[in-house]
């Protein structure tokens, strides 16, 4: 099933055009259904004072320009909270379809904070609360600090193992208590619940992304969004019962040969 939320987030991550009427779909963090649009005249773009001072340099080029922006966003539903976006502004060269620069620059607005934060996963309403809380924590920092967000996704993986009843501790060969690594817990999950072998393999990828985020800052936003998408998929696999309900309903309809249930009860 296509994950439209992650597609939106990936497009936003590439940067917003300077013309707010051209901004992509930004999912509302309040209702999770509507899209956010900039409030009229609320977009402010400012060049940094240090950036202005660089204009005096003999080697100055327009792509030295940088600054910040902030804007208010409103959902189509008037009952939703206003959202604020804050980020940085850069001037970047424009290229044609063949990768040739044709002498023009455009402003690129890169979000670094949404308040309230944008949702990261479509399965938030079905996953365990402790898992969801850690994913929400990742949502608060993912735009400005992807590595920190990756670490919080790793914490969500630990919470998932807790919910699945996979112990954090066991005994070593000498009968002493020892901590069980997340990698080992995931492998134990596969052994304890073979039906979840597929999501367990997916969770290992989330763990590896989280490991990198814990030790250095090399992760890009796109890397962490990969982890978010994988985690969302496996949470849906484990906790979303919709597919089971649909199978049950289909079986009932087949058993009735399509005759409405209320009509059968009247005839009986």
Q: What is the pTM of this model?
A: 0.87
Please state the domain extents for the chain: 14-119, 120-268
Give the model's pLDDT for residue 172.
80
**Lowest mean pLDDT across 3-7, 162-166, 198-202, 231-235:** 3-7
Give the model's pLDDT for residue 2.
63
Give the model's pLDDT for residue 264.
64
Structure tokens at 218: 């090399």
Identify whether the C-beta of residue 254 lies closer than 8 Å to the C-beta of residue 140.
no
Mean predicted confidence (pLDDT) in 148-153? 96
Q: What is the mean pLDDT of the chain?
A: 91
Q: Which regions of the chain does DSSP assign to beta strands (E)?
A: 16-17, 26-27, 35-38, 44-47, 66-75, 83-95, 101-115, 169-171, 177-179
Give the model's pLDDT for residue 93.
81
Mean predicted confidence (pLDDT) in 176-192? 95
**Predicted confidence band of residue 179 (pLDDT cuts 50, 70, 90):** very high
The values of phi and psi at residue 147, to 5°, are: -65, -40
Mean predicted confidence (pLDDT) in 45-50? 94
Give the model's pLDDT for residue 132.
97
**Lowest mean pLDDT across 1-15, 79-93, 231-245, 253-267:** 253-267
Q: Using alpha carbons only, what angle is made at residue 242 by residues 241 and 243, rounded to the nearest 5 degrees?
A: 95
């Amino acid at each position: 099933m296509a994950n439209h939320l992650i597609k939106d987030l990936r497009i936003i991550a590439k940067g917003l055009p300077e013309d707010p009427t051209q901004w992509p779909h930004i999912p509302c963090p309040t209702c999770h259904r509507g899209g956010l649009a900039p409030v009229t005249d609320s977009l402010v773009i400012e060049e940094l004072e240090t950036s202005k001072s660089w204009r005096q340099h003999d080697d100055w080029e327009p792509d030295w320009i940088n600054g910040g922006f902030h804007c208010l966003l409103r959902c189509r539903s008037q009952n939703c909270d206003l959202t604020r976006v804050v980020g940085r502004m850069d001037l970047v060269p424009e290229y044609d379809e063949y990768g040739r620069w044709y002498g023009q620059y455009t402003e690129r607005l890169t979000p670094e904070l949404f308040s309230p934060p944008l949702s990261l996963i479509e399965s938030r309403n079905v996953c365990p609360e402790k898992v969801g809380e850690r994913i929400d924590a990742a949502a608060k920092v993912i735009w400005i600090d992807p590595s920190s967000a990756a670490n919080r996704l790793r914490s969500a993986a630990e919470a998932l193992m807790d919910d699945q009843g996979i112990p954090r501790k066991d005994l070593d060969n000498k009968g002493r208590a020892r901590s069980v690594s997340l990698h080992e817990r995931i492998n134990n999950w596969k052994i304890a619940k073979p039906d979840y072998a597929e999501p367990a393999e997916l969770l290992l990828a989330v763990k590896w992304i989280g490991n990198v985020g814990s030790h250095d800052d090399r992760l890009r936003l796109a890397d962490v969004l990969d982890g978010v998408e994988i985690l969302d998929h496996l949470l849906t696999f484990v906790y979303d019962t919709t597919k089971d309900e649909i199978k049950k309903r289909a079986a009932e309809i087949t058993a009735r040969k399509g005759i409405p249930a209320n009509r059968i009860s009247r005839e009986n």
